[in-house]
Amino acid sequence: MRVGIGYDYHRLEAGRKLILGGVEIPHSKGLAGHSDGDVLTHAICDALLGAAGLGDLGQHFPDTDPKWKGASSLKLLAQVVEMLRAKGLRPTQVDSVVLAEEPKLAPHFVRMRETLARVLGVEPAEVNVKAKTTEGLEALGRGEAMAAQAIALLESA
């Protein structure tokens, strides 16, 4: 078994959709980024890549490559899962936390877990998503940004 951690942080801006865990969430702002800015899926990708010793998201999907401009982060996740398979590895469990002051994310957790699990090739029970606020501290607490952390467990396929 192998374990990896991932982290991502993006600012919020008007005029973008808020996508977390591959799910569109109603909000007045969305996450800035070269792709769809999905911090949760990005953190999971980095955790998986780290567990496999495959570097990080930026190495494989650089923001200088127009191919990934506006791309769904679920496509990135699917490609990461293929990289794992090529190394004889498969995801078995993911735990994650989104750091955001608003909106309330709990009503969307089931859809996020189902969406992520489908791409990962695991049961939804093997994907956990939580949310925490920062009690008004710094950019996250002022509603200027969102972040996510994830840990992933891999095993030989």
Report whether CATH 3.40.50.2300 matches the domain 2-156.
no
Asked if the model's pLDDT at residue 81 lies above 90, the reply is: yes
In this structure, are residues 41 and 91 in contact, taking their beta carbons and an 8 Å threshold? no
**Average of per-residue pLDDT across 92-115:** 97
Domain boundaries along the sequence of the chain: 2-156
Could you read off the pLDDT of 1-18 as tens digits, one per residue?
Answer: 999 999 999 999 999 999
Q: Is the link from the previous residue into 103 a cis peptide, with omega within 30 of 0?
A: yes
Strands 145-156 and 2-14: antiparallel
The pTM assigned to this predicted structure is 0.97
Exposed / middle / buried, residue 135 (Cβ in 10 Å: 0-12, 13-18, 19+): exposed
Residue 66 has pLDDT above 90, yes or no: no
Check if the beta carbon of residue 22 is closer than 8 Å to that of residue 73.
yes
